[in-house]
Structure 1
Amino acid sequence: MKTRRDVFQAIADPTRRAILLLIASQAMTAGAIASNFDTARPTVSKHLQILTACELLRQEQSGREIYYHLNPQKMKEVAYFLEPFRKMWDDRFDKLESVMKKFKAK
C-alpha cells in the first residue's frame, strides 16, 4: 500500500508554500518554477514531488514539457479544515482587543 504524504507537512515548508503561491496564478514548468528560487533544480523538483504526492499540485504534459497546476479542490479541503480555527482565533483576538481598549481607557 502506497502511503500518501500529509498535506499539512507539505505546506509547513516555506519553499513549498512559495511554490503554491507562484503556481496559483498560472501553470508552470519545473524549470520556470526553479528559476524563482536560489536553490538547485533537483531541490525544487523534490518539493514538486511532495506537493504532487499530496495532491496539492497536478501535472499536465504538453509535448515535452510537464506543467504543474494548483489543485483547487485539495486547497478547498485544507481551507475547510482550517475555517473553524480561523473563527476561533478571530473571536479570541476580538476579545483581546476589547480588553486592551478597556485597559487603555483607564
Structure 2
Amino acid sequence: MAGEPQPDCLFCRIVTGEIPATVVRETETTVAFRDISPKAPTHVLVIPRVHYPDAASLAAGDPAAAADVLREAGEVAAQEKVDGSGYRVVFNTGPGAGQTVFHAHAHVLGGGDMPHMV
C-alpha cells in the first residue's frame, strides 16, 4: 500500500536502520544520505520516510512529504556548502530515466561545474 514501508525496498530498509547508510541529515519525515556511487563531488539522496515509488506518486499521495523532501534538499545544499555556487535537484522517474530504486528520492548534486541538460 502506498505510504507503507515495503520489506523489499532498499530505501525503506535504510529508513529503519536495517541497512546502513552515511546519513547527513534526518528529520521527522526525511532521511538524507550520501550516494554510494556519486556523480558529483556532492551527491546526497533525500528520501521521504514514507514509501511511494516515485516523485509523482509522492506528490499526489502525500504533498506535505513531497514538500519536505524539497525543503530538505535545500538544507542539504546549505549544509554541504554548495548553495552559493549552485546545485541540482534531480528526481529520476522510471527505469528509462535512470531510476533504479523505486522509492521516491531527490538527488542533490553540486560541488563542481555541471553540464547543461536542457
TM over 0.5: no
Bigger fraction of residues in helix: 1
Q: Which TM-score tier does this pair reach, normalised by the shorter chain?
A: under 0.3
Normalising by structure 2, what TM-score?
0.25
The higher relative CO (CA closer than 8 Å, separation ≥ 6) is in 2
**Higher CA-based Rg:** 1
